[in-house]
Amino acid sequence: MKDTNNYDITSYNTFGIKAFCRRFVEFDSLEELRLILTTLTAGDAPLLILGGGSNLLLTGDYSGTVLHSAIKGISVDSMQESVLLRVGSGETWDDVVRLCVDNGWYGAENLSFIPGEVGASAVQNIGAYGVEAKDIIYKVEAVEIGTGQEVSFTNEDCAYSYRQSRFKGEWRDKYVITYVTYRLKRTFCPQIDYGNIRLELEKRGFYEPTAAQLRDVIIGIRKEKLPDPDVEGNAGSFFMNPVVPRAKYDELSGLYPEMPHYRVDAEYEKIPAGWLIECCGWRGKSLGRAGVHSRQALVLVNRGGADGKEIMRLCDMIRNDVRNKFGIEIYPEVNIK
Ligand code: EPU
């Protein structure tokens, strides 16, 4: 267990924003977490429950307490057609995906190479290439901050939707996640119809890909499109893709027939924010030390030494431009603190 005051959390946010927090606590087990919760006083507020810090923008030093799970461990409950994997919230997400692919447990492969930790996968409902964490989450175990009580939630309890869950809404700051149980299948049903996945597979001669081949292709696409935080600080997609009513979509697709889009249901369509931002001329541009990635305009980057306020200035200018040009509001996906 680690419990330190005035702690440098620069390496705990992939944006690479230099910042300190007033108290930093890292727990290795459920028991340690429950013990720590008994020591918290009103003076320790506000709390920030941090995973890998890969979806976080710090706008200054953090005046409260950062809680970080270092709960490790993976246990496997094998059944005939599926496997239940109970994983400590401090495990690295992509280690779990690799373990699944290596063992023939299917369903996570499209979520390869997403940065961050297991606890965050259940808060954020991480998603990529047509698959979301909610598709494999079976159970989420947590401790209630106010009471120290252990609780367990089903997938339905968490009310998952695109990049949303109760943990981001009405349960915000109420629970600390300790374990997530995923259900993987023993039969491989590749999901390759999203974007250019099939094309990329075929380019390599994979017409009936294995999960390992699919994982390799996805890692390749992500490495090509998304900046490496060790080279240029970033938090992946900075904005969520806006979901607009069909009438708005029809109006825009009349004006911009080339506009990419994904059907949500009969009433709504999702439009890639990256495309909207690129159309506003922002791709590859900088504002001071904050910038827009040159290969994916959805990703804001720290060009070196930027502070959170500079990134926020860029965020606001982009939102204004998208609003003025398209009449669409885009919202940050990252957690701004
Ligand atoms: N596009 C542009 N210009 C850009 C970026 C995108 O025209 O600068 C166009 C692309 O050509 C494509 C469409 O927009 O037609 C969608 O682009 P892409 O497939 O790259 O995905 P995205 O919608 O921009 C989402 C997720 C990513 C995830 C990818 C792949 C969100 C907020 N982002 O991005 O997730 O990897 O799909 O599934 O939903 C993340 O959350 O950090 C993240 C990287």
Tokens for 335?
């957690």
Tell me what pLDDT residue 55 has. Answer: 95
Domain at 74-185, CATH class: alpha beta
| Residue found under tokens 């020591």 | 39
Q: What pLDDT band is residue 195 in, cutting at 50, 70 and 90?
A: confident
CATH for 233-336 is 3.90.78.10
pLDDT tens digits along 144-164: 999 999 999 999 999 999 999
Share of the chain above pLDDT 70, in %: 100
Q: What pLDDT band is residue 231 in, cutting at 50, 70 and 90?
A: very high
Side chain identity at residue 289, one-letter code: R
Tokens for 138?
């079976």
pLDDT tens digits along 82-127: 999 999 999 999 999 999 999 999 999 999 999 999 999 999 999 9
* Residue 186 CA to ligand 1 centre (angstroms): 29
Residues in the ligand 1 pocket, defined by CB under 6 Å: 128-129, 195, 225-226, 236-237, 240-241, 260, 272, 274-275, 278, 283, 296-298, 333
Supply the mean pLDDT for the chain: 97
pLDDT tens digits along 15-66: 999 999 999 999 999 999 999 999 999 999 999 999 999 999 999 999 999 9
Helix (H) or strand (E) holding 221: helix 211-225
What is d(CA 196, CA 303) in angstroms, rounded to the nearest whole number? 29
Domain residue limits, the chain: 2-69, 74-185, 233-336
Tokens for 161?
């939707």
Instruction: Identify whether 333 is a catalytic site residue.
Output: yes
List beta partners, residue 164: 161
Q: What pLDDT band is residue 269 in, cutting at 50, 70 and 90?
A: very high
Return the ligand 1 atom nearest residue 128 CA: 38
Q: Among residues 23, 163, 183, 215, which one is catalytic? A: 163
Determine if the peptide bond prior to 46 is cis (ω within 30°).
yes
Architecture of domain 2-69: 2-Layer Sandwich (3.30)
* Residue 298 CA to ligand 1 centre (angstroms): 7
| Residue found under tokens 């954020």 | 124
Tokens for 250?
């029809």
Tell me the pTM: 0.95
What is d(CA 183, CA 173) in angstroms, rounded to the nearest whole number? 26
Average pLDDT over residues 293-317: 97
| Contacts of 123 by beta carbon, 8 Å cutoff, 6+ apart | 51, 165, 167, 168, 177
